[in-house]
Amino acid sequence: MSRGVTSMAQDLSEREERALQRAVAILEGKSFVGRLTELTGEPVSRMLRRLPAPVTRQINRIVRRTLFQTLDVALYKMGSTRLPEPPPALFQFASGVTGGVSGFFGMAALAVELPVTTAMMLRSIAGIAARNGERMDQPASRLACLEVFALGPQGKRGPTGETTYYAARAFLARTVSEAAQALLERRIAGSSGPLIVDLVSSIGSRFGIVVSEKVAAGAIPVVGAIGGAAVNIAFMQHFQQMARAHFVVRYLERRYGPQLVQSRYRSFDELRQARAHPENVTNS
């Protein structure tokens, strides 16, 4: 997709409408816990409810520390060099290796494995963003990469029936906007400022749910080291899919304006729900 889009086009082409429909299916469709249930053949949500409170607190601490490290990369290191983008399969292979180690050693390895996996995901997400016309020298584009970690169906819609995707973006809008503006004005130094803390808290509250689901899947006895690798690959694929869909939407918003794209997005989501639950249409 072209980077040099400056004037607003009138309407989406058929190809762009199909791309937006695919993005809606990803962003509003199957949750990560649903994917894990299919992968493991076990009800991961039940295992998630059984995680002890101390384990959940430990996961949250690891997630927070990981996001601070990831933010440091996104804010100060992305966009400064133009390294060739490794193929997605290489990221997935490396993620599988780290997941296998984590699966073998269990929770003790999460503090080492999660930052490595998250850094690989961020590099992959940045490549996806650049291919969809994002300028990685711009703070807004770099922060949009971090937004990906807060995206994904979680079975909840916005307070006014808003789509899951746009509800997540609305939830993050203030902190992301303020952080981007501060970066432009060079008012962010280090990762301890209040804007950064707010951003980590906002993203961490959602990313932590997915990490907890990953840990719960790894706690299933039949999973083990080999299954741990498969779970980690699924973890990376999940966020790569979120990134592809997210940056398609952002590209279309730049080209046609947010209002038109959001309206089409809602229409496609309503169509998706009607196809998934035809009985609701019949009874309405």
137 CB-contact burial (10 Å; exposed 0-12 / middle 13-18 / buried 19+):
exposed
Question: Could you tell me which residues come within 8 angstroms of residue 16 by beta carbon, excluding any fewer than 6 positions away?
Answer: 252, 255
Counting Cβ atoms within 10 Å, is residue 211 exposed (0-12), middle (13-18) or buried (19+)?
buried
Q: How far apart are CA 75 and CA 82, in angstroms?
A: 15
**DSSP states of 101-163:** HHHHHGGGGHHHHHHHHHHHHHHHHHHHHHHTT--TTSHHHHHHHHHGGG-S--S---TTS--
Contact 233, 98 (CB under 8 A): no
Task: Report pLDDT for 269.
Answer: 95
Q: pLDDT tens, 149-204?
A: 999 886 555 444 578 999 999 999 999 988 888 777 765 555 556 888 888 899 99
Q: Which amino acid is at 100?
A: G
pLDDT at 225: 47
Torsion sign over Cα 49, 51, 52, 53: negative
Domain ranges of the chain: 14-275
Tally of helices (H runs) and strands (E runs) in the chain? 12, 0
pTM as predicted: 0.83
What is the per-residue pLDDT for 229?
73
Q: What stretches in the chain show pLDDT beneath 50?
A: 2-6, 81-83, 93, 95-105, 158-160, 225
